[in-house]
Amino acid sequence: MNRKQDIRERLTNARQRTLRMLDEIPPEFLTRRVHDFYSPVGWHFGHIARTEEYWVCRALRDPLRDEALGFLFADLPTNPKENRANLPLKEKIVDYMRDTREHSLRALEAQDLNVHDPLLADGFAWEFAFQHECQHQETITELQCLIQREIGPQERPEPHIWVQGIKPQMSDVVAGTFVMGTDWQHAYDNEKPAHEVTVAPFKIGRSPVTAFEWSEFIKDRGYETDSLWSENGRAWRDEEKATRPEYWHVDDGGHFIYGPTGLRAIHPDEPVASVSWHEAQAFAQWRGARLPTEEERELIAHGASPRTVAPREGPDPVSATDGVGELLACIWEWTCSPFMPYHGFEAFPYDGYSLTHMDGRHYVCRGGSWATSAPILRPTFRNWYLPGYRQGFLGLRLAADN
């Protein structure tokens, strides 16, 4: 299939899903901020359109066609999240999405992609817009969960019985040299360049830490045991009054969590989610283990079969398989590595994508979650958050020295 046709189809498929997601949002929530960290969910739909329009226009050296909407839907410090609640009506957002997409596809049709300009070569601007749309679909899923939490339980789901969970096991990984990162033109700047890395032997969890394992940490007073927490971790815990993963609802009958369509029972073997880096660190301490480095996490992911899995309603329980599994599309896994540039990194297409976050304060997450769109699941993909962040589908996998 030719490249333009391929881009067109992928953009069109992504957009079908985005529009389906928009229709699932209760209209009264489109302009409402349900959490301090987030813009109102309606903003994300315009932002997807604006980002595509912006990069296509930049590539063509054309001005933005609608400066006002271009600003409203920009993720800029001059446009703080409080401003982003003044949104146009849903129909106008949908019009903007349609109009910018039509313009983008017309421009794609007319453009020769066999050129040297890095914004145009092989359709970079369109590919960037596509991957960006996929990423915001996951943010929208996070917001769907938060919206369900605001709405509250419609009915009490049948709880799972939490008697025991799968036995956590570790696999030995031999020392090895592998190619970390990629030179693929359409990878994000932070994944480049490809470079050789040598890793000492280590042990790695065969699956991410499960909800049941986390419940044992709680029972063993892990949250109250100061020696398990770093100084910053303790400060965070006290400030947040954290006693369990933020989105857990526990009553005497069971464990529940809000998914994108409402409250659901937590399966004991599903990966624990919505834990911060501080909590993940304390848990690893409690188990006498540590978080993997991102080098270790990428090394094991290169062995993973590149399954393409569609996003689901929630995580599947992990299985006690031989070898290391659940490497992609299960849960984002915290690593102990700060988000920093690889040697030879060049910010592209703008500093704000990666560089401004490479401040030593953010930590890398790897793997992708059940809510990550399949086209952006890859072993080299780096996600990052501040250590106190626990919204989103974030869990962990343990590692240890060998």
Residues that bind ligand AVJ (CB under 6 A): 132, 135, 139, 353, 383-384
Return the bridge partners of 333, or none.
Answer: 366, 395
**Shortest distance, CB of residue 357 to ligand AVJ, whole angstroms?**
7
**Shortest distance, CB of residue 16 to ligand AVJ, whole angstroms?**
20
**Shortest distance, CB of residue 30 to ligand AVJ, whole angstroms?**
19
Distance CA 246, CA 146 (A): 11
Distance CA 5, CA 394 (A): 35
Query: Which is closer to ligand AVJ, CB of 291 or CB of 371?
Result: 371
**Shortest distance, CB of residue 206 to ligand AVJ, whole angstroms?**
27
Classified as helix, coil or strand, 178 is strand
Q: Where are the beta strands (DSSP E) in 117-213?
A: 170-173, 176-180, 195-199, 202-205
Query: Which is closer to ligand AVJ, CB of 318 or CB of 331?
Result: 331
Query: Which is closer to ligand AVJ, CB of 56 or CB of 266?
Result: 56
Q: In degrees rounded to 5, what are phi and psi of residue 380?
A: -90, -10
Distance CA 90, CA 301 (A): 40
Query: Which is closer to ligand AVJ, CB of 162 or CB of 353?
Result: 353
Query: Which is closer to ligand AVJ, CB of 147 or CB of 204?
Result: 147
**Shortest distance, CB of residue 136 to ligand AVJ, whole angstroms?**
6
Helical ranges in 221-311 per DSSP H: 231-240, 277-286, 294-301
**Shortest distance, CB of residue 77 to ligand AVJ, whole angstroms?**
13
Spell out the long-range contacts of 314-317 with Cβ–Cβ below 8 A and sequence spacing 24 or more.
Answer: 314/257, 314/259, 314/260, 314/264, 314/270, 314/370, 315/270, 315/271, 315/273, 315/369, 315/370, 315/393, 316/270, 316/370, 317/210, 317/267, 317/268, 317/269, 317/270
Residue position matching structure tokens 């106008």: 92
Query: Which is closer to ligand AVJ, CB of 30 or CB of 74?
Result: 74
**Shortest distance, CB of residue 138 to ligand AVJ, whole angstroms?**
8
Query: Which is closer to ligand AVJ, CB of 210 or CB of 383?
Result: 383
Q: In degrees rounded to 5, what are phi and psi of residue 198?
A: -110, 130
Strand order of the sheet with strand 254-259? 248-251, 254-259, 262-265
Query: Which is closer to ligand AVJ, CB of 212 or CB of 384?
Result: 384
**Shortest distance, CB of residue 175 to ligand AVJ, whole angstroms?**
31
